Amino acid sequence: MSCGNDIDLITYADPIPVVYGIICPKDSIHEITLKRSFICENNIPLYSSNPDSNYYPNAQIFLETRVQSGEIIQRTEMFKYELPPRETDMFVSSPNYVYRCLKKDLIVTTNGKKELRYALTIHIPDQNKTIIAESIIPPLSMSGITPNPGSEGIKLDLFSSRPQKFSWRISLDFYVEFETKVNFLEERNGKWEEASISHFKKYNHADTKARGAEVIVNGDWFYPMLGGKIEDDPEVTSRKFMSIDFILKTADANFYDYFFYEHYLTDLSTNTFTNIVDGLGIFIAYNKAEWLGYSLNQRSLDHLALGKYTKHLNFTRWD
Amino acid sequence: MSRHISLYVLILFAALASCELPDKQEPEADFTIQPRFGDSLTVFHFDASNSSDNYTDNFRLKVRWDINSDGEWESEFSINKHFAFKFPRNDTYSISCEIIDDQKNVSSFTQLLQVVPVPRDSIFTDLRDGQKYKAVFLFDRWWMSQNLNYGTHLPEGDKTYDNSIAEKYNYPYASYDSIYGGYYTWNEATDYGRELEKGVCPDGWRLPRIDDIQRIKDILFFTSDYTPYLAMNKQFMLDLALSGKYYLSTKTWHLQGTTGNVWINHKQPIDKFLSWIYYCKNPRRRYDGPYNPILLTDYQPLDTEFVEWQNIWGEFSYHKIALPIRCIKDHEIN
């Protein structure tokens, strides 16, 4: 008689700040997003389309550089900035707020010998809530990289007996991603439009005992990759190869954990990864070495236009 | 008989099996604060991950935080060992962390934290000779961030005279001039006792007093290692140099790179003089004698103390020794 069988499924809880920030000290602008969770009994679309349910209006956000022992080296405030409306979905598309600061306001001067980290601090006065997230800044000059980043204008021969090779030294402290970005033009209705595809190879920091890693750029790998990545589009009548960029990104090892939880865990798992203290989300610093503007020699272009993996893409035989 | 023995064994086993070893040992609470020093804009990160218990696994230990040790907990018990907080005003705060294990044993640990104003830095020009000096506004007063280098350079061995001209010695390697500055006898530092307060400092500036240095020591009461705060390019931007000293009697330079002294005015009778010494602990002997020079860049711990010299001490007598000078300017309230 005295027992109640009703279960209260909706219990009020304070909103949880949700942060997403992946920043690189080499970028001219650093940008993060801050949103909030909300609880409602019904009519979720009504709440989710209301900016007040999605944003904290008075959040104070600072980006700092700190050394390993926590001492603050520099601090700059991140200001609210409105981006063009997001694509329409169940959440509010406009206003589309991010928080920004400029690279020049927070100069990173680590040479890799001393550990420097970014600290993102957020204070939400309405809730009297404070959150912090920290991420190691990978060294600006990564060790053991060959060739030296920045070399441009090289014509790749994808059938050479000495193919182009990129190599680097592995550090267990960092997650590494090697991006191959192929830039090309697509002819659609008589007009040429820029397009690109990217291939990412990921190197988990913890799953190897090797001291180094390398990527060899040859036809065996390149053409099947490109053929698989570019989607068939009947409106595209022709494509023209422009260039290839290679980008080696190094991130705080936490990024792999985040990536793993987001992509590989099944729906049955209720675990989430966050490195935000008293909040949710991810805040990661990464660094990058770039080799931009590589082109293909005539033999490699011929195979791009006529080879069995990419013939259907209608690439021209000239660059 | 054997049946009886079996029965006794069975009873003993049952008795043992029903007993649960009571865990009455409290968990060991411990936490770190980062940064150890900050202002009212700083978000401090408290991390109790190093807490431990003899039975309960670390990840099952629950933690809650009282940021002002006023008995009101700012957080509920949680397995999350991290906490962040920004303090509304400059003050000394007592941070308590309470840990509870699976057997409900509780322990707590408290640390003090000071929140103080942000140091500001600047550059000023000594109008007497046009030299520029770095300065930092630190705890309600301006400090020079470089040793004074004003006056006429005397060759080693030459004596100073009461001639109304500020005279100084310089370390023989010119590249150190901007770091070590000039070395002044007490007489030259105070214009032969006529300027005990201002000394040889630029107009508006004065020699440091004990209370100036005590203020810094009070702020740093929580640490025995001053290096992260006082050393070159560190938190307080005071950039204390290990400039050593110069002995006039032997015409020798001592302890450069190992210790540093600056003159202090403490308004005492003329036969007593104070300097503030800061040094690397690592050399087995702090003062004279054999030592291994240690560069500040080795991040050896620094300590500070006052040294009182009476002129009856002979070698340490004020007129036989020359030390650098750091000047101070009191905050002018507009």
Chain A CB contacts of B34 below 8 Å: 66, 69-70
- Shortest CA gap A202–chain B (Å): 30
Cβ count within 10 A of residue B118: 13
Every domain range in chain B assigned CATH 2.60.40.10 = 32-115
Nearest-Cα residue of chain A relative to residue B82: A277
CB contact under 8 A, A71 and B37: yes
Reported as a single tens digit per residue, the pLDDT across A118-133 is 999 999 988 889 999 9
Chain B CB within 8 Å of residue A132 CB: yes
SS3 assignment, position B313: helix
Q: How far is CA B191 from the centre of its chain?
A: 31
Calculate the CA B306 to chain-centre distance: 14
Give the model confidence (pLDDT) of A99-115 as tens digits.
Answer: 999 887 776 765 444 57
Is A264 a domain residue? no
Of A311, A299, A308, the C-alpha closest to A159 is A299
Asked if B42's CB is within 8 angstroms of A72's CB, the reply is yes
**Distance between CA B220 and CA B303 in Å, rounded?**
11
Same domain, A33 and A130: yes
Which domain covers residue A164, as residue numbers?
A: 155-253+289-313
Scanning A179-238 for CB atoms below 8 A from B yields: none
Asked if A208 and A130 sit in the same domain, the reply is no
Asked if B85 lies within 8 A of A72 by C-beta distance, the reply is no
Pairwise CB contact (< 8 Å): B86 & A130: yes
Q: Is the dihedral of CA B262, B266, B267, B268 positive or negative?
A: negative
A283 inside 8 A of chain B by CB: no
* Residue B16 C-alpha, separation from nearest chain A C-alpha, in angstroms: 39
Give residue B280's pLDDT: 55
Judged by phi (left if over 0) then psi (alpha if -120 to 50, else beta), residue B140 lies in: left
Give residues with Cβ within 8 angstroms of A43, minimum separation 6: none
A208 has pLDDT over 50: yes
Judged by a CB distance cut-off of 8 A, whether residue A273 touches chain B is no
Give the residue from B36, B86, B226 with the most A CB atoms within 10 Å of its CB, the best one to mutate: B86
Smallest CA–CA separation between B225 and chain A, in Å? 13
Partners of residue A131 in chain B, C-beta under 8 Å: 43, 84
Mutate to test the interface with B, among A130, A136, A272, A280 (most CBs of B within 10 A): A130
What's chain A's length in residues?
319
A59 in the same domain as A21: yes
A62 and B41 within 8 Å at the Cβ level: the answer is: yes
**Alpha carbons A63 and A141: distance in angstroms, whole number:** 22
Residue A20's pLDDT is 94
In this structure, how many other beta carbons lie within 10 angstroms of the beta carbon of residue B94?
A: 13
Number of CB atoms found within 10 A of residue B132's CB? 10
User: A294 and A160, same structural domain?
Assistant: yes
Task: Please answer whether residues A230 and A240 qualify as being in contact, where contact means their C-beta atoms are separated by less than 8 angstroms.
Answer: no
pLDDT band at A21 (very low <50, low <70, confident <90, very high): very high
- B202's tokens: 């630029």
What pLDDT does B310 receive? Answer: 45
C-alpha distances in Å from residue A45, one per residue of A3, A48, A50, A92, A261: 35, 5, 9, 9, 27
Contacts of B264 (CB under 8 A, 6+ apart): B207, B208, B209, B210, B213, B273, B274, B275, B276, B306
3-class secondary structure per residue, chain A: CCCCCCCCCCCCCCCCEEEEEEECCCCCEEEEEEEECCCCCCCHHHHHCCHHHHCCCCCEEEEEEEECCCCEEEEEEEEEEEECCCCCCCCCCCCEEEEEEEHHHCCCCCCCCCCEEEEEEEEEHHHCEEEEEEEECCCCCCCCCECCCCCCCCEECCCCCCCEEEEEECCCCEEEEEEEEEEEEEEECCEEEEEEEEEEEEECCCCCCCCEEEEEECHHHHHHHHHHHCCCCCCEEEEEEEEEEEEEEEEECHHHHHHHHHHCCCCCCCCCCCCEECCEEEEEEEEEEEEEEEEECHHHHHHHHHCCCCHHHCECCCC
In this structure, is residue A266 part of a structural domain?
Answer: no
CB atoms inside a 10 Å sphere around CB B231: 24
Which CATH number does B32-115 carry? 2.60.40.10
Instruction: Name the maximum alpha-carbon separation found in chain A.
Output: 87
Which residues of chain B lie closer than 8 angstroms to A72, CB-CB?
Answer: 35, 38, 42
From B47, which residue of chain A is nearest by alpha-carbon distance?
A277
Q: What is the pLDDT of residue B7?
A: 58
For residue range A149-184, list pLDDT tens digits in order. Answer: 776 668 899 998 888 888 888 777 788 889 999 999
The Cα A129–Cα A123 span in angstroms is 6
Complex ipTM tops 0.90: no
Residue A310, pLDDT score: 93
Q: Which of A82, A109, A137 is at the close of a domain?
A: A137
Q: How many domains does chain A divide into?
A: 2
Distance CA A7, CA A12 (A): 14
**Lowest mean per-residue pLDDT among A29-33, A42-46, B151-155, B277-281:** B277-281
Q: Residue A82: give its domain's CATH number.
A: 2.60.40
| Mean predicted lDDT score pLDDT of chain A | 84
Contact A70 B43 (CB under 8 A): no
Quick check: A134 contacting B, CB < 8 Å? yes
In a domain, A296, yes or no: yes
Q: How far is CA A229 from CA A198, A223, A313, A316, B284, in A?
A: 8, 10, 11, 18, 67
Q: Which residues of chain B have pLDDT under 50?
A: 281-306, 308-316, 333-334
Contact: B37, A69; criterion CB under 8 Å: no
Contacts of B35 in chain A (CB under 8 A): 66, 69-72
Question: What is the reported pLDDT for B318?
Answer: 52
Q: What is the pLDDT of residue A112?
A: 47
Give the single-character DSSP code of B8: H
- The rounded distance, in Å, linking the Cα atoms of A206 and A208 is 6
pLDDT higher for A139 or B301? A139
Distance CA(B121)–CA(B139), nearest Å, equals 12
Whether residue A90 is found in the same domain as residue A222: no
Calculate the CA B122 to chain-centre distance.
Answer: 22
Average pLDDT over residues A250-258: 84
Is A8 part of any domain? no
Instruction: Indicate the pTM of the whole model.
Output: 0.65
Which of A59-63, A266-270, B85-89, B137-141 is least confident?
Answer: A266-270
Structure tokens at B25: 């040992």
Looking at the fold, whether A173 and A300 belong to one and the same domain comes out as: yes
Residues of chain A positioned with their CB less than 8 A from the CB of B228: 69, 71
* Shared-domain flag, residues A30 and A97: yes
Residue type at position B175? S
For chain B, say whether A62 makes contact (Cβ under 8 Å): yes
Interface of B with A (CB under 8 A): 33-38, 41-43, 45, 80, 82-86, 228, 234-235
Structure tokens at B280: 């690397």
| Separation between Cα atoms, residue A290 and residue A311, nearest integer Å | 29
Question: Mean pLDDT, to the nearest integer, of A25-45?
Answer: 85
Q: How is residue B207 written in tokens?
A: 């020699």
